[in-house]
Copies of this chain bind each other. A is one copy, B any other.
């Protein structure tokens, strides 16, 4: 195995992402030592029991000797955590995060980051609808994009740190992309944040339908609804923070979505089959592009409801 990218990493927040990181870093040898901390004592016990690494009982112990500190807490908890760990960070160490919103994460971290530390925000485009330390797995980042949004014009040492952090993520199997934080937030608003909001909303709407018993919604969910409930099973705290912290881009995207939906609604009301057909054909084309780009498989029925496989 080639030498580790970092002698010691500190993972703060041991949820799906944090625990996957710990597993992946050890499995790939990307870090010699993995220290972990979570504000929740029960989560720390679980992490110890799972053997995820060196579990610490306070923030000072977890990060004082780390070459790279990875904040894996919800976006809304980044600022407070950063403020607490600031005094303990090692000179020339790297501090990064995994938040789904990058402008506000940058602002939150910059407010308390010591000058002798390299602050490089990041976001892995990877996850599942599960949460918690037991939900993680080492291959989560394999083949997934990892977006870094470094601060521009920081000089040689900083650029070297960016390269090193990129190498770390690539070692976990990720494909690293450098992007401007504001652009990241606009792109993710449509590819991730809006889809989650819509999924949560349609599940709530279904729940409230007076004319349809909850039992029937569940019973006949295979018709399409089921796929939305999967997305809507994602961690509520994480997603609340995403929407509160990427407000402008989400509201802009949501406005466009609602306008487009109103046009489809009008087409249905007036029996305008041509408009429906044109829109549906266009959507199908995007699906084709995603498969061609290797971002998904073309397996029949989402690869999951042929009873042969799931029985």
Contact = CB atoms under 8 A, between A and B. Distances in A.
Interface stretch (A32-40, A44-52, A161-169, A265-273): A265-273
Interface string A229-245: 11111101101110110
Contacts of A128: 300-302, 305
A186 B130 CA distance: 31
Q: How many copies does the complex hold?
A: 2
A240 B277 CA distance: 6
Given A142-B307, A225-B190, A307-B142, A236 B284 contact: yes
A153 to B, nearest CB: 24
A150 to B, nearest CB: 18
Contact of A260 (B129, B208, B240, B273): B208
A239 B264 CA distance: 12
Interface stretch (A1-9, A84-92, A192-200): A192-200
A130 B300 contact: yes
A125 interface: yes
Given A221-B191, A226-B290, A295-B226, A143 B307 contact: yes
A131 to B, nearest CB: 10
Interface string A115-154: 0000000000111111000010101101111010000000
Given A209-B190, A286-B229, A257 B201 contact: yes
Contacts of A253: 205, 209
A243 B276 contact: yes
Given A243-B268, A258-B261, 14 more contacts: A128-B305, A140-B306, A188-B223, A191-B216, A191-B217, A191-B225, A192-B224, A198-B261, A201-B264, A218-B286, A226-B296, A233-B287, A244-B271, A297-B304
Nearest 10 pairs of A and B residues by beta carbon:
A192-B223, A236-B280, A195-B224, A128-B301, A233-B287, A203-B283, A232-B283, A229-B287, A142-B307, A191-B225
24 contacts: A126-B222, A128-B305, A129-B287, A139-B308, A142-B306, A186-B211, A187-B212, A188-B223, A190-B225, A191-B217, A201-B257, A206-B286, A214-B289, A222-B296, A226-B295, A229-B286, A230-B287, A232-B284, A232-B287, A240-B273, A240-B276, A250-B268, A296-B304, A302-B304
Interface of A: 76, 100, 125-130, 135, 137, 139-140, 142-145, 147, 173, 186-188, 190-209, 211-212, 214, 216-234, 236-237, 239-241, 243-244, 247, 250-251, 253-254, 256-258, 260-261, 264-265, 268-269, 271, 273, 276-277, 279-284, 286-290, 293, 295-297, 299-308, 310-311
